[in-house]
Every structure is written in structure tokens, then in C-alpha cells.
Amino acid sequence: MPPTNPWFGIDEYPRWQARDMIRDLAVGTIMRPPSWAIVTGFKEIRWDYPDLHDYLDWIEGTFPDTRFVGNVREVEDTIKSGWWKKTPKAREIVSTRDRKVRDAIASRDERGYIVDYTEYSKTPESLRGLFEWLDEPFNRAALKVPFGRTHGTDAKSGASR
């Protein structure tokens, strides 16, 4: 490529170094785990990418030892909540996304785990398997903090129940 080309030198782009910098930027500015954190992560709700598996591969390559937790919920319950209540074809859209989440998590083999909101919202003990998978002790009392908050679009996040 001649020096007059606007992309001259792009073949020298340090993509692996850039990937490390992206990881450091995300951890340092978005995730910001406290010094005592053992497990940290982020929430992704956009599972309708046409290149979802490529995206998950990129995440896995950028964040070594990544694990994927798929949070699913009964389709009927989902379409009665948040913006779905007013969304045309909500059942079709939510059903498709539910399948994509389940398929994507299954494609990660032992690096993927499904939790079911319908189960754990009624019986927090059902999260014990998730903690075992993360190789972390299950502490039911510690779940009172996140379970004591309202999450989502139906109420202000952070409000106590």
C-alpha cells in the first residue's frame, strides 16, 4: 500500500496490544471492581446480533477466563413486563431471543451457565449451582442485598422493595 493511501500503515496496527488496552479500559472505567472482588463482570441484554457467536468469541478472547451466565425467564412473564407490554409481536421477539441466549450459552460449553429468573426469584437457593460453577461459596444471606432491590424498567433501579 503506497504512503499516499489513507490506510497506509494499517498493517502495522498493534491489534493484540489494542485488545489489551480495550480490556484495561473496560475494567478500569466501566466495571471498576473493588480491590476485594473475586468475580466481576457486566450485563449484556443485546442477544440479537447477527454475528452473536463472533461477538462472544471476541469477548472471550479479550477477557481471559471469561464465563457467560445466561439469565432467562418464562416468555409469558417477560412479555408482561417493562416495554414488552406495549411491543407488537413481543411473544415472537422474546421467544426468538430466549432461544438465542440458550443456544449462545450452550455454545460456550463449560464456560456457559443458564440461570432462570422464574426459579431463583422464588427460590434463591436454586442459585447454588451457579456459585458452585463459579467455584464460590454460596451465601444465602449475601443475596439479600441484590434481592432487596428493584431492577428493570417497571420501577426505579435501586429502590427497596
Q: What is the pLDDT of residues 56-81, one digit of tens each?
A: 999 999 998 999 999 999 999 999 98
pLDDT at 153: 57
Core vs surface per residue 55-75: b (16+ CB within 10 A) or e: ebeeeeeebeeebbebebbeb
Per DSSP, the three-state class of 23 is: helix
Nine-digit cell string for 151: 431492577
pLDDT at 91: 96
In tens, the pLDDT along 100-118 reads: 999 999 999 999 999 999 9
Name the residue with higher pLDDT: 115 or 15.
115
What distance in Å separates the CA atoms of residue 9 and residue 11, rounded to the nearest whole number? 5
Nine-digit cell string for 51: 454475528
| Total residues found in the chain within this entry | 161
